[in-house]
Amino acid sequence: MGELSNKERMKLPKQEMPLHPGEERVKNFNEVPIGYSDEMAKQEALRCIQCKKPGCIPGCPVGIDIPAFIQLIEDGDYAGAVKKIRETNFLPSVCGRVCPQDKQCQMDCIIGKKGEPVEIGSLERFVADYEDKNNLRVLPDIAPDTGKKVAVIGAGPAGMTAAYELRKRGHEVTVFEAFHRGGGVLVYGIPRFRLPIETIDADLKLLEDMGVEFVYNMIIGRVLTLDDLLGEEGYDSVFIGTGAGTPKMLGVPGENANGVYSANEYLTRIYLMGANEFPKHVTPIVQGNKVAVVGAGNTAMDAMRTAKRLGADVTCYYRRAKEQAPARTEEVHHADQEFINWKFLSNPVEILTDENNKVTGVKCEKMELGEPDSSGRRKPVGTGEYFTDEIDTLVFSLGCAVNPILPMTDEVLSVNKWGIMMVDEKTYQTAREGVFAGGDTVTGGSTVILAMGQAKTAAENMHKYLNGEMPWSDAKVPTDPTWPGIIWDAPKPAKKAKK
């Protein structure tokens, strides 16, 4: 490629991720972004100026050595690039697709200050795809057996990461999952058009090949308790990664009407159970022609775009303004391209029904933006003006609460007033000796990558605990019921990648 000066590099245009056109993609569930070609990846890699103090690494919750892997792409060493990512992140294919890069690594990209940041996510996906296509997914080095047994509860991103990190260190790992398959939210909550299932299954297969044992249909807390795991079953330590799966309700009249779904139910019926292929898969979904989706987070976008693919006219109702939508910028953009109608500053106050309890309409209050609230966003305030739209299906996506079954069935574990599991903020130790937790269980609902970052830290600490290097008495588990849960403050000081 020759040697380009930084000035020259910064003049290179960003390589836009090629997408299937909106009108075509709403007819199927195929992945929307097509992926970079070799040439595009190399061109995009050239835009990285290899900063001495990169902003991107501290922006990454698992601390990937981003400039290093991009340099390897520039050098044409794609296998080396993915190997570099795998030093710190074992789900590059997932993260390249679903991470909110605009709020993490790409937010602090130095060249992004003047122009467009380097497309780190697209490059990560590119090398992960290269790895898959060329069957380069190799087993990591696994330390000799330690003789310690570890149980991981939940086979979602947090559990998968904890299992990977603990198995790598030579511990015997069993993952207990309540569903009939692994992947957690990656399967039941993220649409196939954003994350193909093959890539999740390849990651699960890698874990199995490493010797991690998966047991499905096991609802821990009920079929086996923590007492059982740490007692009779002989586990030395437990990681809880049960996620935040319990949907928050709308709290308006009519919320239990027929045709009103939580986004979890709606997406689970389709992506876990295959309702879009009914009756080949027998789980049904009943959806009319006019679908309202309430909320504007990533999950809301997923529900809207799914409803569109099932043939509906879809409208988003959100009580704040478009700029305040919590979804990834790219998701809003993609929804836009897929002919979603937007009704911002519209707050549903009632769901209208017919005599059969079937949803017929949604009544909303028009909102306007007032003073900033505690989140720093201007608070929506009611105008006293209302409007009613005819709809036949409503999906509400207002976030989730932590699944209560495990804390309900254990007397030692503690939760805050919102049900978030209380853990030591540095080590992820829970109130119960030997038990750690990470992911949405300790945040109340966040991103895949944050769950992975926490699970990784928790696993490192579990390893110390298992080696007798971490006395439990040092754990600082919060006791204040208003403790907010784990909050990630980016950026953190850059960590040097371990060799």
Partner 1 sequence: MSNKSKYSQSFKILKKKELCPDTYWYEIEAPYIAKKLLAGQFIIIRPKEHSERIPLSIAGWDRDKGTIHIIVMSAGYTTGELNGMGEGDCFSDIVGPLGVRSHVSKQDGTCVVIGGGYGTGAILPTAQDLSDLGNRVVGIVGARNKDLLLMIDELGEACDEVMLTTNDGSIGTEGFVTHALQKILDAGEKVSSVLAVGPVPMMMAVAAMTKPLGIQTWVSLNAIMVDGTGMCGACRVSVDGKTKFACFHGPDFDAHKVDFGELMKRQKMFVEKEKEAIEAYSK
Interface positions with partner 1 (CB under 8 A): 174, 176, 178-182, 188, 204, 208, 213-219, 222-224, 245-247, 249, 255-256, 258-259, 261-262, 264-265, 268-269, 273-274, 278-284, 286, 356-357, 403-405, 408
Beta strands 246-247; 400-401: pairing state? antiparallel
- Nearer CB in complex with partner 1: 212/477: 212
- Nearer CB in complex with partner 1: 116/265: 265
As measured in angstroms, the least distance from the Cβ of 459 to partner 1 is 21
What token pair was written down for 24?
């075509």
Residue that the structure tokens 């039941």 belong to: 188
> DSSP 3-state assignment of 316?
strand
Cβ-based neighbour number of residue 71 at 10 Å: 17
* Residue whose C-alpha is closest to residue 429's, from 442, 447, 418, 417: 442
- Nearer CB in complex with partner 1: 218/349: 218
| Residue 23 vs residues 20, 81, 377, 411: alpha-carbon distances, Å | 9, 35, 34, 53
Residue that the structure tokens 């509906």 belong to: 312
As measured in angstroms, the least distance from the Cβ of 338 to partner 1 is 25
- Nearer CB in complex with partner 1: 214/239: 214
- Nearer CB in complex with partner 1: 283/337: 283
As measured in angstroms, the least distance from the Cβ of 264 to partner 1 is 5
As measured in angstroms, the least distance from the Cβ of 282 to partner 1 is 5
Which helix (DSSP H) or strand (DSSP E) does residue 150 occupy?
strand 149-153
As measured in angstroms, the least distance from the Cβ of 244 to partner 1 is 10
As measured in angstroms, the least distance from the Cβ of 178 to partner 1 is 5
Q: Where are the alpha helices (DSSP H) in 75-215?
A: 78-86, 92-98, 120-133, 157-168, 185-188, 197-209
- Nearer CB in complex with partner 1: 87/255: 255
Beta strands 435-437; 400-401: pairing state? unpaired
As measured in angstroms, the least distance from the Cβ of 299 to partner 1 is 13
What token pair was written down for 343?
């009704």
As measured in angstroms, the least distance from the Cβ of 280 to partner 1 is 7
- Nearer CB in complex with partner 1: 12/273: 273
- Nearer CB in complex with partner 1: 165/177: 177
Contacts made by residues 472-476, CB under 8 angstroms, sequence distance 24+? 472/429, 472/433, 472/434, 475/424, 475/427, 475/429, 476/424, 476/425, 476/426
* Residue whose C-alpha is closest to residue 342's, from 301, 378, 311, 386: 301
What token pair was written down for 144?
């000799």
Residues 6+ apart with CB under 8 A from 499: none
| Residue 429 vs residues 421, 423, 475, 486: alpha-carbon distances, Å | 10, 5, 6, 12
- Nearer CB in complex with partner 1: 101/262: 262
As measured in angstroms, the least distance from the Cβ of 419 to partner 1 is 11
As measured in angstroms, the least distance from the Cβ of 246 to partner 1 is 5
- Nearer CB in complex with partner 1: 151/437: 151
Q: Could you tell me how far CA 384 lies from the centroid of its own chain?
A: 37
Q: Give CA–CA dist 7/5, Å, rounded.
A: 5
Residue that the structure tokens 């009319």 belong to: 288
